Amino acid sequence: MHYVKARHELRGRADGEVVEFIFQSEDAAQKAVSSLRKDGHDILMENGTEATVRKREPS
């Protein structure tokens, strides 16, 4: 569910915009970040339950 919410949040953002996420657990963060990376977004920082992501539009 964390990935779905993060993906939904990024959809409302402009390409290149940076968003910080705080997840409830490290496991949830790792799963969400992995999926966001597969979607093509840039992971700028990943630290425990926090992640900073730069939105990238699919090419």
Specify if 59 maps to a domain.
Answer: no
Residues 13-46 have pLDDT tens digits of 999 999 999 999 999 999 999 999 999 999 999 9
Specify if 31 maps to a domain.
Answer: yes
Specify if 10 maps to a domain.
Answer: yes
By residue range, what is the domain housing residue 34? 2-54
Could you give the strand order of the β-sheet that contains 50-54, starting from the edge strand earlier in sequence? 18-22, 50-54, 42-47
59: pLDDT strictly greater than 70: no
